[in-house]
Structure 1
Amino acid sequence: MQKKFWIKTLINSAMIAGIISCSQSQDKTMLSVAFENNKTYEKPVLDSVKTHNKASEALDFCKKNKFNTDFAILIDMSLHSGLKRFFVYDFKTKKITQQHLVGLGCGNNSWSSDDSKDSPEFSNIDGSYLSSLGKYKIGARGVSEWGVKTKYLMHGLENTNSNALKRVIVFHSWERMSDDEIFPKGSPEGWGCPTLSNNAFLQVDPILKS
C-alpha cells in the first residue's frame, strides 16, 4: 500500500521548522469529476481528521522545541499535485486559514512537467532534482531568480533532508504555478523546491516576515 507523506512547517519568529511523517491508511473520501475528453477521474478529498491530528503533532513539536505556537504550514504530499495541499493552519482557531497548490521535484522526469503528479518520489541526494521529506528550519529571506523574486532558505533537520541547504532547496514562488486547482492535471515540477504561485506566495510571505 502506498505510503502517504506529510510535510509540516512550524513557525518560530522568522524561522520555520517542518515535520514529515508517513501513514499507511488510505481513508480519503473520493469524489468523481469529469475531464474535457469525457473521461471520469476520482478526485481525492483532504482527510480533515488526519489534518487536525497532524496539526496537533505540530503544536506539540513547537512547544517542545520552543517554537512559535501561532500557526503551522502543513504540506500533504500524499495528495495529487493538482490539488491544494499546502495549508496554513491556525493553532488558536484550529482551522486552515490558507490553502494553495505546491510543486515538488521532477527527478528524472522533464522539468516543468507533471509526470509524478500522483506518485512522487523523494530524495536527499544532491543532483536528484527531487524534494526531500523531513523537518525543516527556514531562515534567511532573500532574493530569488523565480516568481516574485523572494525566497526563504531551508535547513534540513533530519537525515532525509540534511542536504537541503547544500542543494539550494528553497521556498519560493514560480510563475508557472496556478492559483486554482487543476486536477486531474498536476502542478509543474521543478528541481525539488516547494513552490507556490506568485499570488499564493504573496499571501504567505507577510506571515513569515512577521
Structure 2
Amino acid sequence: MKKIFLAINLILIVSCNKNKEADKKAFSFTENTIEHITVNPRNEIKEPDYTLYYKEAQQYCKRNNLNQNKFILIDLSIHSGLKRFFVYDFKESKIIKSYTVSHGCGDNDWGATMSKEDAPISNEFDSHCSSIGKFVILDRGVSQWGIKVNYILQGKDKTNSHARSRAIVLHSWDAISSAEVYPKGSPEGWGCPAVSNESMKEIDEILKQNSKVLMWIIKP
C-alpha cells in the first residue's frame, strides 16, 4: 500500500513539472509573439519621395541667396502623430533630423487632435490654420511657450503671405511629444509649427549656426 501511495505521488510531481514547463513555453511563446507582431507605424504608410522637393529647394535657395547648407521640409499630409518635420542637409544629400510637429486646429478645439489625419490649410486671419508654401526663417526671439525661444517666419508665397502678420512662428510647446505617438495625434494650436522642447533645443542649435534657412511646408 505504501509503495502504491509513493508511486501516485511521483506521478503527480512529474505531471506538475510537465505542466509548469508547458506554461513556461506557452508564456515564452506569447512574449515572443507579442514582440514579433508589434506594429511599427512607419510600416503602415508609404514613405514619400521628396527628391523633387529637395532639388527645387536647392535651386530656390541659390536664386534667392538663402542658406545652402540646410533646409527644413514639413509635410502636413502625414499623420500628426508621426515625424514629419525634416531637416535636410544639402551637402550630405539626406535628412539628418526628423521631428513631430503640430499644425493649426482650424474650427476644431485648440489643443485637441481632431484633424490629425487631415490638417486644415488657410492663409486667412483668425483661421487658426497652418499655411503651406515657402518661408524664410528670420530672427530668433523670445516666446511665451516651451523653452521660450521662437523664430519669425516670413511667408514667400501667396499661400502664406500673411504668416508674419498672423504671428506664425516656429516655437516649442510642452504638449508636443518628442516621440511618435501614432495612432494618436499631436495637439493642435493656432497655426504655428510647434515642436517638443527637446526637439526645439536641437533645432535652435542648427538655426543659430545657419541663417536665412528655407522652411517649406507642403501638403501634397
Please state which band the TM-score falls in when normalised by the shorter chain.
Answer: 0.7 to 0.9
State the partner residue of 2:45: 44
Counterpart of 2:84, as a letter, is: R
Distance in 1, matches of 2:174 and 2:63, equals 37
Equivalent residue, structure 1, for 2:143: 144
Q: Which amino acid aligns with 1:55?
A: Y
Cα deviation, residue 53, structure 1: 2.4
Partner of 2:8: none
After TM superposition, give the deviation of residue 33 of structure 1 in Å: 6.8
Displacement of 1:52 after TM fit? 2.6
Tell me the C-alpha RMSD between the 2 structures. 2.0
Cα distance between partner residues in 2 of 1:161 and 1:95: 26
TM-score, normalised relative to structure 1: 0.78
**Matched residue of 1:200: which SS?**
helix
Rounded Cα–Cα distance in structure 1 between residues aligned with 2:101 and 2:194 = 5
Greater helix share, structure number? 2
Q: Indicate whether 1:163 and 2:166 are aligned.
A: no
Following TM superposition, by how much is the alpha carbon of 1:206 offset from its aligned partner in structure 2, in angstroms? 1.0
Aligned to 1:76: 75
Max Rg structure: 2
In structure 1, the residue matched to 2:121 is: 122
Q: Distance in 1 between matches of 2:176 and 2:57?
A: 27
State whether residues 43 and 183 of structure 1, in contact with CA within 8 Å, keep that contact through their aligned partners in structure 2: no
Once superposed, which parts of structure 1, at least 4 consecutive aligned residues long, lie more than 3 Å away?
32-35
| Alignment match, 1:187 | 186
SS of equivalent residue, structure 1 residue 99: strand
Offset of residue 153 of structure 1? 0.8
How far the C-alpha of 1:76 sits from its partner, in A, is 1.1
How far off is 1:57 after superposition? 1.3
Equivalent positions of 1:193-204 (< 5 A) are 193-204=192-203
Q: CA offsets, 1:132-189, max 9 Å, x none? A: 1111122111100000000011111122111111111010000100010011111100
Task: Give 1:42 shift.
Answer: 7.6
1:102 aligned residue: 101
Match of 2:218 in 1: none
CA distance in 2, matches of 1:120, 1:33: 28
Q: How does 1:1-80 map to 2 (within 5 A)?
A: 43-47=44-48, 50-80=49-79
Query: CA–CA distance in 2 between the matches of 1:154 and 1:41?
Result: 30
How many residue pairs match? The answer is 173
Matched residues in 2 for 1:69 and 1:34: separation? Answer: 38
Residue of structure 2 equivalent to 1:209 = 208
Structure with the higher fraction of residues in strand conformation: 1
Q: How far does the alpha carbon of each residue in 1:15-34 deviate from its partner, in whole angstroms, 9 at most, with x for none? A: xxxxxxxxxxxxxxxxx975
Unaligned runs of 5+ in 1: 1-31
Q: TM-score, normalised by structure 2?
A: 0.74
